[in-house]
Amino acid sequence: METLEFQSEARQLLQLMIHSIYSNKDTFLRELISNASDALDKLRLETFRDKDLDADISDLHITIEADTEQRTLTVRDNGIGMTREDVVRLIGTIAKSGTAEFLRKLKESDQSQDLIGQFGIGFYSTFMVADKVTLVTRHPHSAQGVRWESTGESTYTIEDVEDAPQGTSVTLHLKPADAEDNLADYTSTAKITEIVKRYSDFITWPVRLEDKEINSRKALWARPSSEVTEEEYAEFYRHISHDWNAPLETIRMQAEGTFEYQALLFLPSQAPLDLFMRERKRGVQLYVKRVFVMDDCEALMPEYLRFVKGVVDAQDLSLNVSREILQQDRQIQLMRRRLVKKVLSTIKSMMTDKPESYATLWREVGAAIKEGLIQDTENRDAILAICSFASTHSADEPTSLAQYVERMKEGQEHIYYMTGDSRATIENSPHLEALRAKDYEVLILTDPIDEMWVDSVPAFDGKQLQSIAKGQVDLETEEEKSANEEREKDFADLLTWLAETLSENVKQVRLSTRLTTSPACIVGDTHDLTPTLEKMYRAMGQELPQIKRILELNPTHPLVEGLHKAFAERSGSDELAETAELIYGMALLAEGGELGDASRFVRLLANRLERTL
Ligand code: ADP
């Protein structure tokens, strides 16, 4: 017999279970049955793949045995079981991505219940109700079984055993019942039946207690909608998603004809923890004629809808279909297209029918949905229609594009936006001035993904999307235009000289139509990288040539007027060149940018200030 230590993260999680911050202790049984059910699914799949596997699949089931005298409860399955290495790896450690992050959040949060549910409490939840847990298991590949035991403190013991039956049994040495602590008598047949009915009724394998089958095993997606309760949907959702919260929205679909399938999909009320992690999961569960075939079936859900959980049950697929085959199958592709359209149209109707649910969904997973604007060109318009963005219209209410278009002013042709690091930088940037003067609304795009999709989305509802920090912003009347042309001529020499003087930093200097109160701003050409994007690429280690942008001057600003006059009088002086540098530096600072040579800027500025005193 060997005594081993739990990995430190596992130990922390166990402590949480023992000192149970989680009030609903009944759920430990759901977790055990869920694991047993998975183990039965896995064994059946394995026998398809490996015809020589030494396993009996004639009566796969789960048994619950209670011993009132010994105060033990055993959950037994004749599924895939675990090898000794499996037990050490799966039970002694937590391999899930995001565990450290999760534990950190848990410490900082007072909503530990929600968080812990989101994580999926799993096998360790047994320590909420037991002082000691014994697990005996055998994998069909090994002749010997393994016995694992622990009190949930820092160590566990593990030893080989002869004669272990196929599968796994988990025996809980129960704590005394204690109503105050929400600890029921888990040896009571009535209590066990109640919990199984409530949480695990839909499990496709028989769950037996005293030789009676206590679950109805009905697949929810095969029952008429009218007969399934919200609560049943919610439990099923928890079973497949490991999210403790109820789903935000339930979607059912049915396709008849040559390729028959049923789908039951859920939208979450909280972003999955791994939503933006590298090793994130996606996809729904695939069943074939009520039989579980695979988890996380990527072929059925695109990357940007990775938060959608659920089940698709197809009639005409082979049970041992592989992921590779699924990726190429035409029927599967058609099915995926219909699932995607259904998810998008459901979100669309939420916008009008359930605005609060929509707002929650958008807050939690909107950044993922926006990836679809790049990935899924076929559905781009449908995706645009369900997007919301911060805007200058309201400080806290995001707006849809349709709402934006409704508010567009007389004569406004485009949908204006600006990308940047934060709302504050954008709001304070000089680029916004002329639009503000005209009372035009501007979308404030601050998600990193925004930088990516704006370039691939030309228009919404026939209205072009236009960055206010790029290209020429055309906001003038005909009169203003001819006045400007006059001015351009007047300023031509100054602009040429400035362009030469600042040639290391800018590629052009021109007069601006977007400024009202600032002297200058810096803008990009329509196809230039934005400063944020440039920063992102550089941070990712990409080599980029220096990107020069355009300096725009406000000809009505006293500083620019002064410069114009001074240039006519004494062109080419060093002092004027310094003024040019200062104006460029100010424009850079105004948009939240960084000065190339800050100490030089400060020195020039200090000199000037000195002379004013
Ligand atoms: P989760 O089920 O969320 O993965 P658990 O802590 O409940 O987390 O279980 C960890 C792993 O241990 C499971 O993923 C599974 O591989 C294995 N396991 C647990 N129970 C069983 C069982 N009854 N039979 C076979 N393997 C099991």
Q: Say how many Å lie between the CA of residue 109 and the centre of ligand 1.
A: 27
pLDDT (0 to 100) of residue 56: 93
Look at residue 156 and tell me whether its pLDDT is greater than 60.
yes
Of 324-328, 404-408, 453-457, 558-562, the poorest mean pLDDT is in 324-328
Whether residue 90 has its Cβ less than 6 Å from ligand 1: yes
Model confidence band, residue 127 (pLDDT cutoffs 50, 70, 90)? very high
Tell me which of 29, 90, 118 to substitute to probe ligand 1's pocket, judged by most ligand atoms within 8 Å of the beta carbon.
90
Whether residue 35 has its Cβ less than 6 Å from ligand 1: yes
Q: Taking the domain 479-612, which CATH number applies? A: 1.20.120.790
CA torsion 291-294-295-300 (nearest 10°) is: -100
- The structure tokens 């935000």 sit at 248
Mean pLDDT over all residues of the chain?
A: 89
Whether residue 82 has its Cβ less than 6 Å from ligand 1: yes
DSSP secondary structure letter of residue 6? P
Q: Taking the domain 2-212, which CATH number applies? A: 3.30.565.10
- The C-alpha atoms of residue 384 and residue 199 are separated, in whole angstroms, by 38
Whether residue 120 has its Cβ less than 6 Å from ligand 1: yes
Domains in the chain: boundaries = 2-212, 225-359, 388-467, 479-612
Whether residue 243 has its Cβ less than 6 Å from ligand 1: no
pTM of this prediction? 0.75
Model confidence band, residue 539 (pLDDT cutoffs 50, 70, 90)? confident
- The C-alpha atoms of residue 565 and residue 437 are separated, in whole angstroms, by 27
CB contact at 8 A, 523 and 549: yes
Q: Taking the domain 388-467, which CATH number applies? A: 3.40.50.11260
Query: Please, which residues bridge with residue 250 across strands?
Result: 266
Assigned token pair, 68: 């009132």
- The C-alpha atoms of residue 110 and residue 597 are separated, in whole angstroms, by 46
* Topology (CATH) of 225-359: Ribosomal Protein S5; domain 2 (3.30.230)
Q: Say how many Å lie between the CA of residue 518 and the centre of ligand 1.
A: 63
- Residue of minimum CA distance from atom 7 in ligand 1: 122
Model confidence band, residue 291 (pLDDT cutoffs 50, 70, 90)? confident
Question: How large is the average pLDDT for residues 123-127?
Answer: 91
Which atom of ligand 1 lies closest to the CA of 35?
20
- The C-alpha atoms of residue 425 and residue 421 are separated, in whole angstroms, by 7
Model confidence band, residue 507 (pLDDT cutoffs 50, 70, 90)? very high
Look at residue 383 and tell me whether its pLDDT is greater than 70.
yes
Tell me which of 11, 17, 35, 94 to substitute to probe ligand 1's pocket, judged by most ligand atoms within 8 Å of the beta carbon.
35
- The C-alpha atoms of residue 603 and residue 583 are separated, in whole angstroms, by 14
- Residue of minimum CA distance from atom 25 in ligand 1: 81
CB contact at 8 A, 520 and 587: yes
pLDDT (0 to 100) of residue 34: 87
pLDDT digits (tens, 9 = 90+) for 333-345: 999 999 999 999 9
> What share of residues in the chain are helix, strand, coil (percent, to 5)?
45, 20, 35
Tell me which of 123, 128, 203 to substitute to probe ligand 1's pocket, judged by most ligand atoms within 8 Å of the beta carbon.
123
pLDDT digits (tens, 9 = 90+) for 6-15: 988 888 888 8
Whether residue 31 has its Cβ less than 6 Å from ligand 1: yes
pLDDT (0 to 100) of residue 120: 55
Count, residues in the chain: 613
CB contact at 8 A, 518 and 433: yes
